[in-house]
Amino acid sequence: MIGRRRGRHTEPPHTPPVPTARRGREHVLVLGTSPKAIPVARRAAELAFTAWGVAPRATVLGAAQLIVTELVTNTVRHAAERSPAIGLTLALTDDHLDIAVHDDHPRLPVAAPGGGLALIADLARDFDGALTITPDHDGPGKTIRVLLPLTPAPAP
């Protein structure tokens, strides 16, 4: 989907490369920064990851759906004024689910205690995954990426 704002066509935002994605295991969506994007993004994550073999009841799938929901919700709430479109990249590597959300707002988010980004960071850590925030080198935007291992970390 290409977003529309005030009757103007908007170009898709920069979407980050997924360096280790399995062949055919990458899905890129461009959504408008409206509340309607949230359920679309969540459903797209569910459909893509299950189509690629992630079990529908897998704990990592539920975590991925929550992460997509929070990232897209944050973008709709905090970046819509300067970013008419959201780039969502979903990928499956040999050992990770890769979720990336890109917007064109220049402000880098902070994981404040109790906030959505802190929840995402905690959830990623619980799965022995990682959250990164990378500013664009060629513009004002940023990409928030979460990697979630497909297999749980061994218990200590």
pLDDT digits (tens, 9 = 90+) for 1-59: 433 333 333 444 554 444 455 556 999 999 999 999 999 999 999 999 999 999 999 99
Residues 100-116, mean pLDDT to the nearest whole number: 91
For the whole model, what pTM was predicted?
0.83
Distances (CA, A) of 133 to 14, 43, 111, 152: 14, 24, 10, 23
Residue 64 has pLDDT above 60, yes or no: yes
Mean pLDDT, the chain, rounded, equals 86
The Cβ of residue 51 has, within 10 Å, a number of other Cβ atoms equal to: 11
User: Which CATH code is given to the segment(s) 21-149?
Assistant: 3.30.565.10
Residue 106 has pLDDT above 60, yes or no: yes
115-119's contacts with Cβ under 8 Å and 24+ in sequence apart are 116/70, 116/73, 116/74, 117/70, 117/74, 117/144, 119/70
